[in-house]
Structure formats: structure tokens, C-alpha cells
Amino acid sequence: MNGFSEECIEVFLRDQSQLFDEPVAETPEEAEAFLEDCMAVVLDSLEEVKEYLEESGADVDGMTLQEIEDASEVFVLLEGKYLVVEG
């Protein structure tokens, strides 16, 4: 697995139901391929997540950092990092 850390893939596999009704991946290999295909990103802070979502066209004006962290496309990783998946 080259592009995403083992933690990213495990978190996505475990929590993908927060974004999708049906699983899009069942194995680490499928998860990594999906994350690469949808051009998911790992960001270092909630501020970066907010900037990324704004640049992607999401309306985040007035959202608190907690609301951004709770957004369905944001997956919380260890050490204050975030995986953003736009399904």
C-alpha cells in the first residue's frame, strides 16, 4: 500500500458507513484503490480541512471547526490528522 497509511485505510474501512449507505470497500486493497480513485487527501489540521472544503466548493461559512470535523466526508485520524473523502 503506497498512497495511504495503514491507519487511513483502517479508519476508512471501519467508518465508511458515515459517508455511504453501502460499503464501497471490503478489503484494504479495495479501500486504497477507492481512496486513490476519488482523490482523497490527508490534511494536518481542521483549518486545512476547512480551506480544502472551501476550495472544493463546499459552503463552510459559519461552520465551527467541530461541525467541520463532524462532516460526513471527514475522517479523524491519530495525531490531529484528517482524511477527507469526497464520495
DSSP per-residue codes, 23-50 = -S-SSHHHHHHHHHHTT-EEESSHHHHH
The predicted pLDDT at position 3 comes to 77
For the entire predicted model, the pTM comes to 0.88
Give phi and psi for 31, each to the nearest 5. -65, -45
pLDDT for residue 79 is more than 50: yes
pLDDT band at 36 (very low <50, low <70, confident <90, very high): very high
